[in-house]
Structures are given as C-alpha cells and as structure tokens.
Structure 1
Amino acid sequence: MKSALVSAPRIVRSIAELRKEIRAFRLAAGPEATVGLVPTMGYLHEGHASLMRRSAKENGLTVLSIFVNPLQFGPNEDFERYPRDEKRDVAVAGEAGADLIFMPQVSEMYPRPPKTSVIVSGITERLCGASRPGHFDGVGIVVSKLLHIVEPDRAYFGLKDAQQVAVVTRMVEDLNMPVEIVPCPIVRDADGLALSSRNVYLSAEERKQALSLSQTLKLVPGWIEEGANASELTRRMRERIGEQPLADIDYVEALLYPDLVPPDADRPLKDVLKNDSVLVAVAVRFGQTRLIDNILLTAEKR
C-alpha cells in the first residue's frame, strides 16, 4: 500500500537527505511498511517504468536512483555521451509511481577515489565481463553503495542484463545483505527490439538490422527442441545474425544460469533443461552502438 508521506516524486541529491526521507517514511508508516529500490542510469524508458510500477505495487515507498556510474564504463566507452534528460526522467518516474528520485553527482557518490572493491568472481568473467573488463567491478561497488544507502526491502532489476541480475543476486547472497533482488522481464518495443537507453544512438538502418537479435532469439526454443547442443545452437545464431551486414558480433553464448558456466558441450540442450536453467545471450554492435539481448530458459525441475 502506498504511503501518503510523499504525494509526488521528490528529488534528493545528497545521501544524507535521502536517508532522512527514508527514515521519516519508516517512522510514519510503521514496521510493516517496505521500501523498494529501482537503480538506473536514467534516460528512462518503458522498461524502467515497469520496474517502478512493480515496486510501487509491492512497497509503500519506491526510490528511483539515477546515476551514470563512471566506474562501470571503460576508457573508450560512452560515459560522456551517455544520454541524459533529467526533466523527462522526472516525468516518467512520476507517472510510474516513484516517490523519491535520488540523483547524486559523482562527487556525492565518490568524494574520493574508492579503494574498496566489490568483486563477484566467476560469473563476471564471461559475456559482458569478458568484453568489458572492470565493468562488473564498477557495478558491484555502486549497487553495494546504493543498497547500503537506501536499505531497501526489495531491489528491482531488468533481465535484459541477466548477467547483472546474476552478479547482484550472488553479491547479496554472499554478503548476507537483507534485501530481496527481484528480477523483472525484458520489455520490448512493438517491433521486438529490447528497450535500452542506448537505442537512441541507432540510425534507421541500424535499428532495422538490430531486429535480427530478437528474431533470432525467438528461434532458439525450436532449435533446442530439434536437439541442438550449445555449440550447434550458437553456430546457427551467429550465422543468422551475421546475415546483417552491419552486425559486428561480440558474443553469442549458451550458459547455465545463474552460475554462467558452459553446459556439457555434446549434450542436447533439451536434456540440460531437465535440471538446469540456460541463458542464451548475445551482444552485437551496430555502428557505434553495442546492444545486448537474451532468452532465459528455465529448468523443468526447480
């Protein structure tokens, strides 16, 4: 049930002010009230809005964080040009049910260069972790900081970045953080493209060819039913995506989820799925834009 403490999104920019607002909510709403956190880098779209709506439905207070975290960008990545639009973000957040919007400056989150690292080994070494060294170290520290600052009961993450969900879930489990990580489904545009703040970079032709990602992922269950193992599946996917002249494939992988280890190379994936969940994930560049997408197939026995 929503609290009447905050009737419209309130923007806070300091950690001290955010903690004060959350303490006031908990004191006013009582011990049964819960707080939800939706961490984002802003330039909000319907995918982010779906997370906020779910949090607003399940919690008395929803905190949206908007922070473009420099520590998760590599030296040649798009930190400086990452899209930002504060006015638009506030409007989207208000419509989606956010109560507090935490928008700190880099100097607020990192008043000094951090000497503490939060590293989740193993599951960060494949997929985006292999092609973006240090990315998940940056994710680990900023998510850890946000969870300690907000102290939410639940935190909501989209499964478009399923590896990030796996990393954050394992971090919370290993460190006994008192928060439930809530994975939420991928939200797609009408044409099937997974929503991403970076989609704004795509030219019309790049966007058209990028639809090959979701179109190829739709074929995965059928190929698995035909008996494909991981190598056969990824070979077919590479061939199909590679038909697009602008596609520069970073990776195409099928891994056990959430530990992100390869399945038995010769075993048909339909047999693997009897006991294990499988993540089929892709990362492909179209021009200067790197897109990720996936399909998560859950184990029959859970």
Structure 2
Amino acid sequence: MTTHPNMGGVGAAESRACQTERSAVGCFLGSTGGRSTLETPWPELVRPSSQIGVSSWHALPYAVAQGTQPSWPGGSMMEQLQKLVVRYGDYRQKPVRFRPETWRSRLELHGAAHVLSIGVGCVNGPSGDRLISRGDLADLRDRVDDDPDGLRDLFVAVMIWGSGTTNGRGPRYTEAALSDTRMPAVLRTTRQAVRDGDLSRAYEQFALSGVRRSFFTKWFAAVDDRDATCERALILDDRVFRSLNALGWSSWKAAGTRRWPTRYAAYVSSVHGWASSLGVTADWLEWLLFHLNGRVGEP
C-alpha cells in the first residue's frame, strides 16, 4: 500500500531522538471534565475473538495495534480503517482561513497581535482574511527557543489555526489563557514533557483558563519536534472522538482505566500502530478521523 503524504502533522525537519517506549495499549481520550457524552460504550460491538485468545476485551486495543483482527459486526476495525484509507487516500488537509481583525483586540492587550501576520493572505473571500497551515506552525516552532514570548506566540498561532472562522469563542478563550499567570510555566513544562516522550505527564501538567483537551492536544502536536520514528503527539478533539466512537471504541474500557492522561498517551500509541499497519502516517490518519467527524460508514 502506498504511503500517503504527511498532511496531518508537523512538516519541518526533525532532529530530536525518540526518548520513549511505545505503548501497546489502544484507547482514546474523553473530555477533561469527566466522561464525555460523545464517549458512549459499545460493548455489544467489541467482544473477544478466538483469534486473540483472551477472555477480556480490555486486550482488544493491544491486538488491533499489533495488527490482530478481532471480530465484530461489519468486520474488524482494521478492515474498516483500511477501506477508509483507500476511499480517502487522495484527500489532503487544507490550510485554515482566519480573520485577523476578529483576534486583534484580544491579542493587542498581551503584545501578541504580531502573530496575526502568520500564513498567507487569501486571494478570495472577505478582505484581510489569511490562511494558516500546520506547516506554518512547524516553521514557527522551529524558530522558537525557550523564550516565554516565543512560546506564547506559538500557542497563539495554534489557537488561531484550531479556531479558524468557525469557532467564535477561540479569541475569547485565547485571551483567557493569555491572562492566566500560569501560562509561561505551563507552556514550558508541557513542551518539555512532550519532547521527553511523556505525553501522559504533559496532559497532567496542562492547566490554563479557557483551554481544554481539543486545543491543548493541538499544542502538544505543534511542539513535538522529535524524530519521525517516534510516536509523536496527536490531536484528539471531538471530531476525532466521534469517528473513533463510530468505529466501536470506548476509551475507558479499552484502556482499563478512567485516568485521562494514560488514555491520551495510549490513544497516540494506538493510532501510530494502526497507521504503520495501514501504510500511512499517524498524523494523516488522525486528520482523516477529524475529516470524517464520525461518518465512517458513508460513501
């Protein structure tokens, strides 16, 4: 199977060595404020298979990540994912449109309005709109050192990219985070945890006003500059969640724990395992799940 271009992740040259072992447990993560309503258990769809040889379906994620084919109605999850990869193999993630003037007043108060020049101007649509891509985030990441203002600028760019023109709350939530006195320490420590390959620790450490899982996992993905052979951080937002649920996954049962940081790290490891088996990149597969938004069975 042809490997598709990496459209879901950071595109700059990678330099850091992998500093973490791969986890074989497969699961995904709910919202930070308790179990998400999107995370509906599907026990009737996930049952042990004689091919796996276990009595508890807690081991199913491990088997799927290793390429073993559990059985459930409609075929195994890997079979479903393979069909989706074939169907959407030519799809690519596009840059995100944003409106600088929507953000300007919120950012000027914190000396971060210059970030609004990121990306390129739109050739059509409302005057002043710009386009920002994950490649733009990678370029900015590679220019950022340990300077708090540089990390703040990268965080703002991530929030802009994650909000686009459809999330009207993005500027307000970003301002709330910028006003949080914990920001310098949180951005510094979570970036280091990601670089150390300790995604569970990064998840535990991230606490800023206005920023929850859908956005702080975007921060993790943006700052992860480890070697491409590592299991780099991935985004887990509600759209990815819907697709995983539609494929029959329940995070707390798959992980055997309700501990969110552990479930996020295991989600990342599982997607990397699935992507390797399917001949695609993990961040492209993450983006595909985002793109589908739960519509995994539609043509």
Q: Please indicate the TM-score interval, normalised by the length of the shorter structure.
A: under 0.3
More helix by share: 2
More strand by share: 1
TM-score (norm 1): 0.24
TM-score (norm 2): 0.25
Greater length-normalized contact order (CA 8 Å, ≥ 6 residues apart): 2
